[in-house]
Amino acid sequence: MKGFWNLTSTISLTLSILFLFGYNYEDVSAVPTTHLCRPEQRDALLQFKNEFEVLNSSTESWMNNSDCCTWEGITCDAKSGEVIELDLSCSNLRGKFYSNSSLRNLHSLTTLNLSANDFSGQIIDPSSIVDLSYLTSLDLSFNSFPGQILSSIGNLSHLTYLNLELNQISEIPSSFGNLNQLTTLDVAVNRLNGSFPIALLNLTKLSYLGLYENQFTGTIPHNITSLSKLTTFDGTSHNNFSGKIPSFICDLGSVETLDLSNNNFNGSIPRCLGNLNYTLTDLNLGQNRLHGGLPGNIFANLRALDLGHNKLMGKLPMSLINFSSLEVLNVESNIINDTFPIWLSSLPELNILVLRSNAFHGPIHQTSFPKALDFSGNKFEGEIPSSIGLLKELLMLNLSNNAFTGHIPSSMGNLTALESLDVSQNQLSGEIPQELGSLSFLSYMNFSHNQLTGLVLSWIAAVIGVIPGIAFGWVIGYILFSYKPQWFMNPFARNKHRISSTTTH
């Protein structure tokens, strides 16, 4: 699976970047107003622009002889004519902020968006923007702000939205504890280390907290329950949190997405997660050191369950059969010892089933999982059932590294959507069915380490030649997107433009 996920990382990265750029150049709109902007604010804006290297920017529409309220990215108060919103996101501005920044003349700002530029130097000293009492939304994400944040940011006591995602910040000042109106705080993808920042426990109105992709260590404090409004607790993934999965997480009553993946959690999966059975739709505990059995009696509304890369053992609990919303089940790289879970095929929404690298054994039967199947690295045996040809929507099929015998069924020629096929490292024999030659989307195939004949290399080359590699890219992208519905599919809504990839499996 490594190669597969590595590839998906690359693709997702590419897609993200595409989205990033697709998304960037829109949406900086001017709001007309009957009031002319104040001259001193106009001058401050022009001066601010001049403080930076402007590469290619919406600020080119800023002219000294026009009403600044009509400039791109500026919104003025309809009555006073004061600039209240400044959106310079994605404006190709580069350079250092100084505390004497002329932004300080924009007294009435409520919204400041400097996202996705190339700002460096100390994060703006908020006290340089003289009256702090109006600012409710500050977006400094996707820049290169380094190191420590000035503790005076804690003076912005009316902030409800603060986004510092993807900078190089290494410390959260304790004054963050004063920002108790915040509903969104995003400090993901920075260089934060040490233990969970206790000051954040004061932010009881938070519904979103993003801490992922930092270097936090230690356990998650028990009184995180004070953050009772959190709806998404995926903030901890890709850190180095350790200890047991804290059971108080079960008290976070409105959590829909729980992503604790890529940490160092050990112990078993807390049974009490079942308390979240009404709200939880996405659960990712992958890439930890969890052991014990799989949870059985919980998660009725789950859409995606990722338990891959742990040390879980036992059988797949039959109660999974009640998870009628389940779309994705990934238990790869555990020690699950079970026969083929034919009963899972009664789950109407299950699209992606990854059982690879466990101790599954015995024959596989007729399946009806439509999109992607990965059974590799187990001890499945017997023939590949010819009913596999019924999975007309199957895009990816990986049966490698098992003990399959017999022929490759010619019915596979009916898998007309198939883009990736791997049956390597089995004991298959006979001819590779000619019917596979008609699979026009097939762009990756691996038949190696079997006793197969009839493989004409030029035929493969021809097929690969006809189908450009992009096809595989698309299917991987597709699988990726379906794979973690919420974690990937909607890069706009949640992690607007998350450049660094989440799939580092």
Ligand X SMILES: *[C@@H]1O[C@H](CO)[C@@H](O)[C@H](O)[C@H]1NC(C)=O
Torsion from C-alpha of 436, 438, 444, 447, nearest 10 degrees: 20
Residues 154 and 146: their CA atoms lie apart, in Å, by 18
Answer whether 394's CB lies under 8 Å from 415's CB. yes
91 binds ligand X (CB under 6 A): no
Looking at 410, 416, 440, 500, which residue binds ligand X (CB under 6 A)?
Answer: 410
Residues 148 and 193: their CA atoms lie apart, in Å, by 12
CB of 448 to ligand X, least distance (A): 24
> Alpha carbon 46 to chain centroid distance?
38
Q: Which CB, 403 or 464, lies closer to ligand X?
A: 403
Q: Which CB, 147 or 468, lies closer to ligand X?
A: 147
And the tokens for 53? Answer: 């290297």
* Number of other CB atoms surrounding residue 277 within 10 Å: 13
438 binds ligand X (CB under 6 A): no
The helix (H) or strand (E) run that includes residue 311 is strand 311-314
17 binds ligand X (CB under 6 A): no
If phi > 0 it is left, if psi is from -120 to 50 it is alpha, else beta; for residue 412 that is alpha
496 binds ligand X (CB under 6 A): yes
Q: Which CB, 170 or 474, lies closer to ligand X?
A: 170
Among residue numbers 306 through 335, which ones bind ligand X (CB under 6 A)?
Answer: none
CB of 299 to ligand X, least distance (A): 8
Which residues, 6+ apart, have CB-to-CB distance to 397 below 8 Å? 372, 373, 388, 415, 418, 420, 421, 422
337 binds ligand X (CB under 6 A): yes
CB of 476 to ligand X, least distance (A): 26
Answer whether 288's CB lies under 8 Å from 312's CB. no
Part in contact with ligand X (CB under 6 A); list of ranges 5-13, 76-84, 199-207, 283-291: 199-207
CB of 358 to ligand X, least distance (A): 9
Instruction: Find where tokens 């023939």 sit.
Output: 383
Query: How does DSSP classify residue 478?
Result: H
Residues 326 and 310: their CA atoms lie apart, in Å, by 20
CB of 465 to ligand X, least distance (A): 26
CB of 107 to ligand X, least distance (A): 13
Q: Do the strands 74-76 and 83-87 form a parallel or antiparallel pair, or are they unpaired?
A: antiparallel
**Phi and psi at residue 424, to the nearest 5°:** -65, 160
Angle at 276 between CA 281 and CA 211, to 5 degrees: 70
90 binds ligand X (CB under 6 A): yes
251 binds ligand X (CB under 6 A): no
Q: Which CB, 6 or 339, lies closer to ligand X?
A: 339
Judged by CB under 6 A, the number of residues near ligand X is 52
Site string for ligand X, 366-405 (x = CB under 6 A): -----------------------x----------------
49 by DSSP, 3-state: which?
helix
152 binds ligand X (CB under 6 A): yes
CB of 171 to ligand X, least distance (A): 8
Among residue numbers 28 through 87, which ones bind ligand X (CB under 6 A)?
Answer: 43, 46-47, 56, 64
Which residues, 6+ apart, have CB-to-CB distance to 27 below 8 Å? none
Looking at 9, 16, 108, 178, which residue binds ligand X (CB under 6 A)?
Answer: 178
Which residues, 6+ apart, have CB-to-CB distance to 351 below 8 Å? 327, 328, 369, 370, 371, 372, 482
CB of 494 to ligand X, least distance (A): 11
Segments of 149-230 assigned E as strands = 161-163, 168-171, 184-186, 193-194, 208-210, 215-218
Site string for ligand X, 200-239 (x = CB under 6 A): -xx------------x-x---x-x--x-------------
CB of 4 to ligand X, least distance (A): 23
284 by DSSP, 3-state: which?
strand
CB of 26 to ligand X, least distance (A): 8
133 binds ligand X (CB under 6 A): no
Residue nearest ligand X, CB atom distance: 177
Residues 148 and 127: their CA atoms lie apart, in Å, by 16
Residues 178 and 328: their CA atoms lie apart, in Å, by 40
Bridge partners (DSSP) of residue 406 are 428
Looking at 6, 122, 183, 242, which residue binds ligand X (CB under 6 A)?
Answer: 242
446 binds ligand X (CB under 6 A): no
- CA-nearest of 186, 192, 193, 248 to 220 is 248
98 binds ligand X (CB under 6 A): yes
Part in contact with ligand X (CB under 6 A); list of ranges 195-203, 339-347, 424-432, 465-473: 195-203
CB of 359 to ligand X, least distance (A): 4
Note the residues at the interface with ligand X (CB under 6 A): 25, 27, 43, 46-47, 56, 64, 89-90, 98, 100, 113, 115-116, 127, 137, 139, 151-152, 154-155, 161, 170, 175, 177-178, 180, 193-194, 198-199, 201-202, 215, 217, 221, 223, 226, 240, 242, 264, 274-275, 277, 300, 337, 359, 389, 410-411, 414, 496
